[in-house]
Amino acid sequence: MARSSLRIGILVFPGSNCDRDCHHAVTAIMSAAAEFVWHKEASLPPLDAVIIPGGFSYGDYLRTGAIARFSPVMAAVTRFAESGGLVLGICNGFQILLEAGLLPGAMLRNRSLSFICRDTHVRIENTETPFTGRCKPGQVLTLPIAHAEGNYYADPATLSSLKAKNQIVFRYCTPEGKVTPEANPNGSLDNIAGIVNTTGNVLGMMPHPERCAEALLGNEDGRLILLSLLDSLKSGRFSPKPAMVS
């Protein structure tokens, strides 16, 4: 049964800086209730989904996300994910999910060694996830990136497994949808821009859907991701099993 008011938690680490943007996206685009969850919390309040926002958790002076994964809240998020709850990690959130072991692989510095902020094109590789239900297979979205460490890496075995299990959700591509080296902004392995875990309930993505979900901002492609997530929550198929969360 879908509840009348969905509650989405947004983690706040010291140094998170897209937390307020995600709050805006959840309330203004998804018309759901948004709740900040402080990194020092050892358990989550009752939530339907968790967003780990972008930013520079703990300054990211060490490897990105490497300290955040030790925050008390990440143990709770891990339990939430294991119980089937939906977790969306954007940018630094993706990096934290990798460090926390909720997703496989690691992030290297961008091939250019510099921060890159611009629009990219990404091709939808998997529409069967709770985050991409509104997309068409092979659809090309324009989504902005803003990161210095988005150069995804995994060892060959992990990459084969990602492919075999259809875990690659977004690939950087040309405007026409071709996955080419030129369309790869940061050197990411196999042009990977986002992946899900094997059970499909945890998505990490480098592009920022919350930055392109309003007509006023000139691009609404991000809505597809946010509203797919909303559809999935409303379907009730992805509610976390309460016993496992607490």
Residues of the shown chain interacting with another protein in the complex, contacts defined by CB under 8 A: 14-15, 17-18, 20-21, 24-25, 54-56, 58-61, 114-118, 144, 146, 148, 208, 210-211, 214, 216-218
Annotated active-site residue 147? The verdict is no
Closer to another protein at the Cβ: 10 or 202? 10
CB of 195 to another protein, least distance (A): 23
CB of 194 to another protein, least distance (A): 18
CB of 217 to another protein, least distance (A): 7
CB of 22 to another protein, least distance (A): 10
Measured distance CA(194)–CA(192) in Å, rounded: 6
The distance of Cα 89 from the centroid of its chain, to the nearest Å, equals 3
Closer to another protein at the Cβ: 80 or 94? 94
- Asked if 95 contacts 65 with a C-beta cutoff of 8 angstroms, the reply is yes
Closer to another protein at the Cβ: 55 or 65? 55
Name the active-site residue from 99, 125, 149, 210.
210
Strand (E) or helix (H) holding 116? strand 116-124
- Asked if 171 contacts 190 with a C-beta cutoff of 8 angstroms, the reply is yes
| Cβ-proximal residues to 100 (8 Å cutoff; 6+ apart), any chain | 65, 69, 74, 77, 78
Burial of 76 (0-12, 13-18, 19+ CB in 10 A): buried
Closer to another protein at the Cβ: 83 or 219? 219
Annotated active-site residue 208? The verdict is yes
Measured distance CA(3)–CA(100) in Å, rounded: 30
CB of 236 to another protein, least distance (A): 30
Name the active-site residue from 91, 135, 173, 212.
91
| Cβ-proximal residues to 12 (8 Å cutoff; 6+ apart), any chain | 19, 36, 37, 38, 39, 53
Instruction: State the pairing for strand pair 116-124/168-173.
Output: antiparallel
Closer to another protein at the Cβ: 194 or 209? 209
Annotated active-site residue 91? The verdict is yes
* DSSP H helices in 10-66: 19-24
CB of 118 to another protein, least distance (A): 5
Closer to another protein at the Cβ: 57 or 126? 57
Measured distance CA(145)–CA(143) in Å, rounded: 7
Active site residues: 91, 208, 210
